[in-house]
Amino acid sequence: MTTHPPRARDLGIELRGTPGPLNAITDVVGVEVGYATLVEGDGPLTVGEGPVRTGVTAILPRGRGGVGTPCSAARFSLNGNGEMTGSAWIDEVGELSLPITISNTHAVGACHTGVIEWVNAVHPQLARQWLLPVCAETWDGYLNDINGGHVTPAVARHALDAAHGGALEEGSVGGGTGMNCYGFKGGSGTSSRLVPFGDTTFTVGVFVQANFGSRDELTITGTPVGQLADVENDMETTDWLQRDLNAPGGAGSVIVVVATDAPLNANQCKGLARRVPLGLARTGTTGSLFSGDLFLAFSTADQGPSRTGFPVGEAHDDEIHSVRQLPWNRVDAFYAATVYAVEEAVLNALVVNETMVGRDGHRSPALPHDLIRRLLDS
């Protein structure tokens, strides 16, 4: 008997791969996730007053105590109608050493400032150098007063302070609070997969902020749920987002963070990030031009100092670094784990959610569980 809101597997959806104990990105030991969720007001939009349906998600790759210790990392952009700060430096050196935040499109600056303020307070020695945090976004303006400045640096700091390991909330929490996915209420979702390797078992964990896709695209384990549901005419109109915003079908964005404890170098992390679209495609999306689809992957395996040799004068800056690396001919199982975990994380974001009404009475309906069960059983 489950004590949490139903997730995809609780509806009887059969998904490939073996999940970790929590089926979450926090199955990768050391990874911590925190949320700040803002839900206030109802009725007509008044910029600066609300209604508010937004928040911030913070991901700490090595937890609070490990900030500043680099992880091998890489990113991939399927479609560039979005923002992920700090990515140019990741491209340059293949490292990530600061927390990741995810929020709404117009809150990137506030999150960037909030991370820097938080590092100054919690790890002041790190703030003596330049800081290039990763701040990513998806657009929540259908439900939220996105121009109202409700996400402040203090909200970002709250999300960072709230970060923890263990089980995670999903759905309309943190940065995913005001998001929509496949014409239903979307938002935050997570999943993981175990990958045997000799006498060791590694973990691949995924976190998704899902805000993408057209209703007719939604596919669950090969069943075109969105199309079949429309034929049955027992769901709400499929064009609510396009009608109210004059937005093209599929508009939105998706941010995906992939974590693993396997010893991958930056190029191998890039391989994981490049497999994220295959997991998204299993849920039906074809990748809209107006969807910012940005993905980041990192490995926590090595605990050594930065290989950039900075700060100059540190004891390690004249050393030759040796790094453990998975053999390339064994990487396919990690690619598959990423694909399957991404698919499930998206479905979890949909299944966990409830209907939300936001600004101007805009309504984002929950994915109807009974209908999904019926369609998948037919």
CA 21 vs CA 170, 193, 242: distances in Å? 16, 9, 39
Known catalytic residue at 370: no
Tokens at 8, concatenated: 């995809």
Nearest to 100 by CA among 258, 243, 215: 258
- Active-site residue, selected from the candidate residues 87, 97, 291, 364: 291
Contact between residue 73 and residue 89 where contact means Cβ atoms under 8 Å apart: no
Tokens at 264, concatenated: 């991958």
- Active-site residue, selected from the candidate residues 172, 253, 299, 364: 253
For residue 255, give the H/E element and its range.
strand 252-260
Nearest to 179 by CA among 352, 8, 349, 9: 349
Cα angle value 201/204/207 (rounded, 5°): 155
User: What distance in Å separates the CA atoms of residue 209 and residue 257, rounded to the nearest whole number?
Assistant: 9
User: What distance in Å separates the CA atoms of residue 145 and residue 360, rounded to the nearest whole number?
Assistant: 10
Known catalytic residue at 291: yes
Task: With H, G, I as helix, E, B as strand and everything else as coil, classify residue 371.
Answer: helix
Positive or negative: CA dihedral 340, 342, 346, 352: positive
- Active-site residue, selected from the candidate residues 140, 216, 261, 293: 293
* Size of the chain in residues: 378
Contact between residue 294 and residue 75 where contact means Cβ atoms under 8 Å apart: yes
What is the DSSP pairing of strand 95-96 with strand 71-80? antiparallel
Can you tell me which residue has the tokens 């400032």? 113
User: What distance in Å separates the CA atoms of residue 313 and residue 310, rounded to the nearest whole number?
Assistant: 8
What is the DSSP pairing of strand 291-299 with strand 252-260? parallel
Known catalytic residue at 172: no
The DSSP secondary structure of 57-86, one letter per residue, reads: EEEETTTGGGTTS-EEEEEEEEEESS-BTT
- List active site positions: 253, 291, 293
